[in-house]
Structure 1
């Protein structure tokens, strides 16, 4: 082994395994399609033009710009935050319980003001106009507002995502991998510039067991977690078993390592 050869993270896309292109996945394409604009915004048909609601004072240019901003990112979290940003919630002054067709409706728990931002400032509109301009379902808007009003927490995406809970474990695995001593490479291919080699008696499973035996209980990881970092973050291979090695070659190679004079 040569102590001068160290392991470093490989450049992006140059790891042992190729990087995953999630943009080509069916699931990612369906997600983008789900939260993309499906129809053009509509002009208000409610007829409101009062001191409180000024729906008819909007122009199609202002409506189009507001709609375009709401779909700036085809992401549920971005659009939910955009909706909340333009809604003002208050406690209803008169909640009331009206009787309709012998069914008593539930009292209102929140009163909402919908606002459209234009170059002139904020314009208050009714719920029907707000829904028509954004082109989203009324139930979705009500669900977002209700959740935020009851919990006080911004809505989060529940279809999965990246978590930072294991960031300290990832860093510990990387430190362990980079502390391993590499073998002196004798391959002459271009990829050896960034590729490092470990002894043939090692493998990923053995390295994972070595890591788990050295760290405490809080830093232990699963084999798949260790393997993912090893093959994606680094370009490391294992030497082939040495068969029919000439003793003279081994003798000369060991002598060369000990010689410090370049002429010799």
Structure 2
């Protein structure tokens, strides 16, 4: 079938608000909302109380509006990666040049020294102490230490390594090829006269299987689509499975083996464990699936026998002693 033989009306992606299939919105997912809440500002920046005015640390020279602006810039992007890169931008690692002698068993020798800066009102970076830097951004010392350690080890910017989609990129080319094929389809003329109608219709002689064969016939080998690998399982129990067409209907089930179903067969002569409610439900199901004439089907004779015996169940009762005719038991009279 030649796709170009259809009308000149082309397919186009629909607005997510009008789509029949709801488009995913990751920003509204609960875990993403929790992430944004986790990395959002909890309070305003704290003014430094250290009082440093030396050349190494100039914390007292900063104004509150500078701290507020720096704090606001940090929380513009509520993602961990962007905030870590922001911290890395105003942090520098310097090799330690001089070491002092320490009494006792001290900790391990550090190779790098971390220096922090905050951008002031005149757009110059003002050196500050670690306590001031942490109180302005409201981040923990462990987070800053981990960022510095990773940068000193790898020399790369911060990147997200927790979770994430690891399979979408494997099928990205196939997905784009399918979208391109759908957009290339030509639609027939719409039978709606209203200008607001944006629905487009394809020819009535098309089906999903025809689209599948047309796409594979013109697609490259690396982007061809393959049919599902699961097998079709025959289910004899779905509603109207035989009353409409008179044949068995096949249903597709994933990871389902019909051979595992092996119910115990109930013998028509032994209905002691079957309640009347169960027989009533079976009769209703037979009438629903096969119609009112299910009793005339020879393949359902088993159910006819079960329901016929169930209508008059033989309930075992205790033996009773009856008197023979002509014999009466004498009952003593009391005055």
Same-fold call, TM cutoff 0.5: yes
Equivalent-residue separation in structure 1 for 2:90 and 2:125 (angstroms): 9
> Residue 179 of structure 2 aligns with which residue?
174
Matches within 5 A, 1:44-193: 44-94=48-98, 102=105, 104-120=106-122, 121-159=124-162, 160=164, 167-183=172-188, 185-186=190-191, 193=198
Residues 172/38 of structure 1: CA separation in 2 closer, same or farther (3 Å cut): same
Residue deviations 1:63-86, cap 9 Å, x none? Answer: 222111111222222211211111
Segments of 5+ residues of structure 2 without an aligned counterpart are 229-335
Distance 2:198 2:10 in 1: 12
The alignment status of 1:30 with 2:34, answered yes or no, reads: yes
After superposition, the C-alpha distances for 1:198-218 in whole angstroms (9 at most, x for unaligned) are 546512x66456535643443
Instruction: Identify the structure with the greater helix proportion.
Output: 1
Of residues 14, 22, 31, the one that matches 1:18 is 22
- Following superposition, the deviation at residue 26 of structure 1 comes to 1.4
- Distance across 1 between alignment mates of 2:161 and 2:30: 18
Structure 1, gaps ≥5 residues long: 225-264
Residue aligned with 1:123, SS: strand
Distance 2:99 2:204 in 1: 75
- State whether residues 185 and 197 of structure 1, in contact with CA within 8 Å, keep that contact through their aligned partners in structure 2: no
Q: Are 2:199 and 1:197 equivalent residues in the alignment?
A: no
Q: Distance in 2 between matches of 1:218 and 1:98?
A: 65
Give the conservation status (yes or no) of the 8 Å contact 2:13–2:183: no
SS of the residue aligned with 2:176?
helix
CA–CA distance in structure 2, aligned partners of residues 153 and 91 of structure 1 = 18
**Contact kept in structure 1, 2:11 and 2:184, CA below 8 Å:** no
Q: Output the aligned Cα RMSD.
A: 3.4
Query: Any idea what the Cα deviations from partners look like across 1:24-59, whole Å, max 9, x if unmatched?
Result: 321221111011001221122334221111112222
Shift of 1:139: 0.9
CA radius of gyration, larger in: 2
Given that 1:41 and 1:132 are in contact with CA atoms closer than 8 Å, whether structure 2 keeps it comes out as yes
Cα separation, 1, equivalents of 2:213 and 2:108: 60
